[in-house]
Structure 1
């Protein structure tokens, strides 16, 4: 099932995407729910970020070729950092170019959406805490990342975490662990990889993260980006496509 969060006539709801329509969900996707049978054409709604996470836990340098292209070593263990909830935007929302940077990059990533409260998850239970998967773009102010020891500003600025277009719940762990992932800018292919190239698997990441912190329903884990990251400029349209999930498209604009 593809679960989307959307707005129509000032109201916000979750729905199941079925072809070119969306069936409104009774309840929330983090608990038992029913489909209402009320179907709305997709072109009549505005898709929102599929979740509003309490926290986004992102993983750096989880693809060897990406680490190499930036001259970095592969870390010995998962390298986690946070992106604030205020960085999250949805499909079609603008990426606002930060005024403090002159070098902003795209980073196409598979995002894992957590479905239940969990801590200290054993490897054999990882599948039970995942609601589904979506597309993400870990937009990064690369010059700021290089200049500052902490990555908070470089990766946490407003609109630096596009998510969407929906959550795909029909992928099991085996399938999610070998998906094609691409990024295009103005139609030009920039990134092309597979999630099977991750150094630390989805299971590795959830086990590692939940050793330290509780994950809440709707929290998001960004699993790293393949090689090919590159610059974004005002006016560019960047699209992240993940096999079996969909395409997340955003345009870069100048801050007013």
Structure 2
């Protein structure tokens, strides 16, 4: 299934995408919550009701007539792994960035989360604005100390993410969090594709363009630590909750890795696409 958070006629709620239409779950299944986080918290029984939702005439909206929002608007955590694609590690090493010896994690503060087609703001304090196409995992169950083998069972689904980064602010701090957490610098979507729709998340084509120019073009098969290893590692340390987001790394081609660097400018349009998951597109605007 493709699950969305959308706004129509001034009201925001959740729905299921079928073709070019949305089934408004507030009408088709009125007993369900009207926000994605609460839906995920209710677990499998609620998801079964979503699957059973019928395209009643009064519950159907054209996809073109709604505004798609971030599918999960208020996650408790947004975690991201750095330097997790082999070619990106090599690209960064050429810039003098040390190759990590273990999984490197940072927070994107949840206030950065924004919609799949919303604008990305150019900071006033930096011109080193960069992009990173990433497969984003959405956690579906409260979980701790999850084994690698059991990790698939705690995944609700997947989204496209652009880990927008302000490089000079990022590099000024060993934690990276500040440079990754500017408001509007966490576009995700366009929908949450449930895990059963993605047979192998480690073999998906990824593409990012800026104004139609190809910048990143690779596959998720190049992850150093796969998704299940990431979840196992994180849950040794912390409890993950339904709706938590995990950005799983980016391949080579980021602006900072180019010679010379080719950072984003006001007016640029960034399009990020992942096979089987979807497309998000964001325009850089002045703050």
SS in 2 for 1:175: coil
2:106–2:175 CA contact under 8 A, matched in 1: no
1:175-216 deviations in Å (ceiling 9; x for gaps): 111100110001111001110100000000000011111111
CA distance in structure 1 between the aligned counterparts of 2:9 and 2:54, rounded to whole angstroms: 18
- The match for 1:50 among 71, 90, 96 is 71
Aligned residue among 171, 174, 181 for 1:146: 171
SS of the equivalent of 2:141 reads: coil
The aligned residue for residue 130 of structure 1 is: 155
- What is the 5 A alignment of 1:162-241? 162-171=187-196, 175-230=200-255, 231-241=263-273
**Unpaired runs of at least 5, structure 2:** 34-38, 256-262
Deviation at 1:173, TM superposition (A): 6.7
Stretch of structure 1 that moved more, 243-252 or 28-37? 28-37
Instruction: Judging by fraction of residues, say which structure has more strand.
Output: 1
The Cα of 1:167 is off from its aligned counterpart by 0.8
Counterpart for residue 68 of structure 1: 90
Comparing 113-122 with 148-157, greater Cα deviation is found at 148-157
Measured on the aligned residues, the alpha-carbon RMSD in Å equals 1.4
TM-score (normalised: structure 2):
0.85
Whole-Å separation in 2 of the counterparts to 1:69 and 1:247? 25
Following superposition, which runs of at least 4 residues in structure 1 exceed 6 angstroms of deviation?
none
**Match of residue 246 from structure 1:** 278
Q: Which has the larger radius of gyration?
A: 2
Residue deviations 1:103-128 (CA, integer Å, cap 9, x gap): 11100000001111111112222111
TM-superposed deviation, 1:74? 3.0
Q: Distance in 2 between matches of 1:74 and 1:168?
A: 32
Mapped pair 1:14 → 2:14: yes
2:114/2:188 contact within 8 Å kept: yes
- TM-score (normalised: structure 1): 0.95
SS in 1 for 2:130: strand
Asked if 1:4 is matched to 2:4, the reply is yes
32-41 or 190-199, which deviates more: 32-41
Unaligned runs of 5+ in 1: none
CA distance, structure 2, for counterparts of residue 3 and residue 55 of structure 1: 20
Hey, what's the Cα distance between the residues in 2 that align with 1:172 and 1:120? 26
